[in-house]
């Protein structure tokens, strides 16, 4: 058995060498313990506790984890195949249902639940996740290495220990208050309750045992030797008091007389037993109706919001921050845990929702409400547009339009503008150049490099962003603005939302700064989309480009109405854009700068109005 456990440990953690050189116990802020120990109160050995905890575990396991990506107002579901695989079967030992059930049960039992993320160390982020394994250890300690990185030391019941980086550990806590790191133990709160339940159970057991025996006094009519007394008592007990005696016949003996003693064993009443059980159910945020499944719609909603939903939020946030890198999170990746709460609604509620709000759901989503399997080709949402047209007869006809038509240029512009984020800046540049270079690959074949290059930023050159009233608002980018900017992974795409055709990480996109400004050089022959984009730029169909960035520090001169960008925080992408009306004015009008300009113009208008009023009052005075 020990060999099997060791093998499973190696299957999960492998034989990877630790990265740390020096590791010490981590000191907590409030001198609370850096170690967590499972309480030996054996909560799960109690039938009442197991029923309550198990019910929460099963209901939590019904949650549906999904990987979504929200970027530029676009939501993609399950955009990564590796994470899609993990969310179906997190490891080779269990399904996602088993995984969530186990995590929830450990959270309820120990107020701490752990799961280890096994990664391919050579592949960062979501693509490197190999599996996620729940860990049920007897104790856990926090350590810190020389680089201030946290590690957890797990000790298992077979005596094995292993260190794991805290970055690779899903840690779900409950009753997180006293300790700086761990959820509080159940021992202080539940020990008395379990003592009462145990005493109650033992009292019932002893009461049943006592009722199976007859107790009394045997009075001898003659004086006997001690040995004879003992022998007669044993004979009487064997004949009449042994429950295994199945003859059912007895006879009288004139030598002694038996006088029975009535004992009434103490049996806890039902109210006491129900109180202890109810106390335990309430501690685990459940009740008998939920356990037996005879709840109402309102009762289920209350249970879900107090018990299942907090767990879903915890798991969603912890899976997101531990699976994805900060860059991936910045691009809108997250894990959410959904629940079909309407599946527990009454039939009348389901009918009302499908009738009144059916246009908000796809056909398969409506089938899920009725606990029916999805059908092929019904993932799309049916859009119903109602508009009224009054006929000569005075009647109103309602037309329904399914789907949509081809967008015109204005609609295309508005659709693209929706993709832009209000918290980022977008700037245009027109001085594009295209060229082709012939090079040889490693095998000696001639390859045509398709190059697009241009100057994205010109330092110290005022650029008019927009006009508000008669006032021009300008921007100047300081020549040191990009000295601390994050340009580690910049992409080249189409309209700030198309497929990536070049990027700095694989060196197909180069960014370099000279005395005049920031320059870009993109090689587009690596993908089919890139080659098409190159030909469109070369043919003059696309003659503008835009880059997206965020500002860390800037100043504003109210007299010249000019912003100076002092520090750029991060450069996100460079895009080829093709919409005629898509210029700096329409983009900048979305930003806070346009709000500043409007406020200034309103203040000027109020000042002019006040000045006119003063002149009129002065004329009237004379």
What pLDDT, in 10s, does the model give residues 83-97? 999 999 999 999 999
Dist. CA 429–CA 537, nearest whole Å: 13
Query: How confident is residue 243, by pLDDT bands cut at 50, 70 and 90?
Result: low
The dihedrals phi and psi of 398, each to the nearest 5 degrees, come to -110, 120
What pLDDT, in 10s, does the model give residues 454-510? 888 889 988 887 777 778 888 899 999 999 999 989 999 888 777 899 999 999 999
| Least confident piece of the model among 152-161, 312-321, 494-503 | 494-503
CA dihedral for 77, 78, 79, 83, sign (positive or negative): positive
Statement: residue 377 has pLDDT above 60: no
The contacts of residue 22 (CB under 8 Å, 6+ apart) are: 145, 146
What phi-psi label fits residue 495: left (phi over 0), alpha (psi between -120 and 50 degrees) or beta? Answer: left
Name residue 517's beta-bridge partners: 458
Q: Give all strands (DSSP E) within 192-252, no chain letters.
A: 216-220
Closest CA to 181 of 412, 27, 10, 345: 27
What pLDDT, in 10s, does the model give residues 62-85? 999 999 988 776 778 888 899 999
Across 277-298, average pLDDT: 89
Query: How confident is residue 618, by pLDDT bands cut at 50, 70 and 90?
Result: very low
The contacts of residue 456 (CB under 8 Å, 6+ apart) are: 427, 429, 517, 518, 519, 520, 545, 547, 574
Which range among 301-315, 351-365, 542-556 has the greatest average pLDDT?
Answer: 301-315
Dist. CA 230–CA 235, nearest whole Å: 9
3-state helix, strand, coil in the chain (%, to 5): 40, 30, 35
What pLDDT, in 10s, does the model give residues 118-133? 998 888 889 999 999 9
pTM across the whole model: 0.53
| Least confident piece of the model among 78-87, 161-170, 576-585 | 576-585
Per-residue model confidence (pLDDT) at position 46: 82
Statement: residue 399 has pLDDT above 50: no
Statement: residue 569 has pLDDT above 80: yes
DSSP run (H or E) holding 520: strand 517-523
What pLDDT, in 10s, does the model give residues 38-48? 766 578 788 88
Identify whether the C-beta of residue 177 lies closer than 8 Å to the C-beta of residue 184: yes
């Amino acid at each position: 058995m020990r060999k099997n456990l060791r093998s499973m440990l190696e299957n999960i953690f492998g034989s990877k060498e630790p990265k740390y050189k020096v590791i010490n116990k981590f000191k907590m802020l409030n001198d609370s313990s850096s170690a967590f120990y499972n309480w030996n109160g054996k909560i799960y050995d109690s039938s009442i506790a197991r029923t309550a905890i198990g019910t929460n575990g099963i209901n939590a396991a019904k949650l549906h984890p999904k990987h979504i990506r929200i970027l530029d107002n676009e939501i993609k579901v399950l955009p990564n195949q590796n994470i899609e695989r993990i969310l179906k079967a997190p490891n080779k030992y269990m399904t996602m249902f088993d995984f969530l059930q186990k995590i929830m049960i450990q959270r309820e039992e120990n107020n701490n639940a752990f799961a280890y993320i096994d990664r391919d160390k050579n592949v960062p982020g979501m693509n490197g996740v190999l599996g996620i394994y729940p860990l049920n250890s007897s104790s856990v300690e926090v350590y810190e290495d020389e680089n201030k990185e946290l590690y957890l030391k797990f000790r298992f019941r077979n005596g094995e220990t292993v260190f794991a980086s805290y970055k690779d550990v899903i840690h779900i806590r409950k009753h997180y208050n006293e300790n700086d790191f761990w959820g509080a133990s159940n021992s202080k709160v539940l020990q008395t309750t379990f003592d009462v339940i145990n005493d109650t159970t033992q009292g019932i057991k002893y009461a049943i045992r006592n009722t199976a025996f007859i107790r009394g006094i045997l009075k001898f009519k003659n004086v006997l030797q001690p040995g004879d007394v003992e022998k007669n008592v044993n004979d009487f007990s064997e004949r009449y008091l042994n429950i295994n005696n199945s003859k059912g016949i007895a006879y009288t003996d004139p030598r002694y007389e038996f006088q029975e003693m009535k004992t009434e064993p103490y049996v806890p009443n039902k109210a006491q037993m129900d109180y202890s059980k109810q106390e335990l159910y309430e501690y685990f945020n459940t009740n008998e109706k939920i356990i037996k499944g005879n709840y109402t719609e309102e009762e289920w909603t209350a249970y879900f919001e107090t018990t299942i939903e907090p767990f879903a939020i915890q798991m969603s946030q912890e899976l997101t921050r531990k699976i994805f890198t900060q860059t991936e999170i910045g691009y809108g990746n997250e894990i959410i845990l959904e629940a079909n709460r309407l599946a527990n609604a009454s039939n009348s509620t389901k009918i009302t929702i499908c009738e009144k709000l059916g246009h908000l759901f796809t056909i398969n989503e409506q089938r899920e409400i009725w606990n029916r399997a999805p059908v092929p080709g019904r993932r799309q949402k049916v859009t119903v547009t109602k508009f009224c047209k009054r006929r000569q007869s005075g009647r109103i006809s309602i037309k329904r339009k399914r789907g949509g038509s081809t967008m015109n240029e204005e609609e295309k512009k508005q659709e693209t503008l929706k993709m832009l984020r209000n918290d980022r800046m977008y700037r245009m540049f027109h001085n594009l150049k295209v060229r082709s270079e012939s090079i040889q690959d490693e095998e000696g074949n001639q390859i045509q490099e398709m190059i697009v290059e241009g100057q994205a930023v010109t330092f110290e050159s005022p650029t008019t962003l927009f006009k508000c009233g008669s006032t021009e608002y300008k921007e100047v980018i300081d020549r040191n603005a990009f000295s601390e900017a994050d340009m580690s992974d910049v992409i080249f795409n189409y309209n700030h939302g198309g497929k990536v055709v070049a990027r700095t990480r694989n060196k197909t996109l180069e960014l370099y700064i000279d005395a005049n400004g920031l320059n870009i050089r993109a090689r587009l022959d690596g993908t089919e989309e890139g080659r098409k984009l190159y030909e469109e730029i070369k043919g003059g169909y696309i003659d503008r480009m835009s880059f997206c960035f965020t500002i860390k520090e800037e100043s504003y001169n109210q007299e010249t109405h000019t912003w100076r960008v002092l520090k750029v925080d991060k450069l996100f992408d460079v895009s080829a854009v093709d919409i005629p009306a898509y210029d700096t004015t329409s983009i900048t009008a979305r930003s806070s700068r346009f709000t500043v300009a409007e406020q200034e113009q309103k203040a000027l208008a109020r000042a002019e109005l006040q000045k006119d009023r003063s002149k009129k009052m002065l004329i009237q005075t004379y």
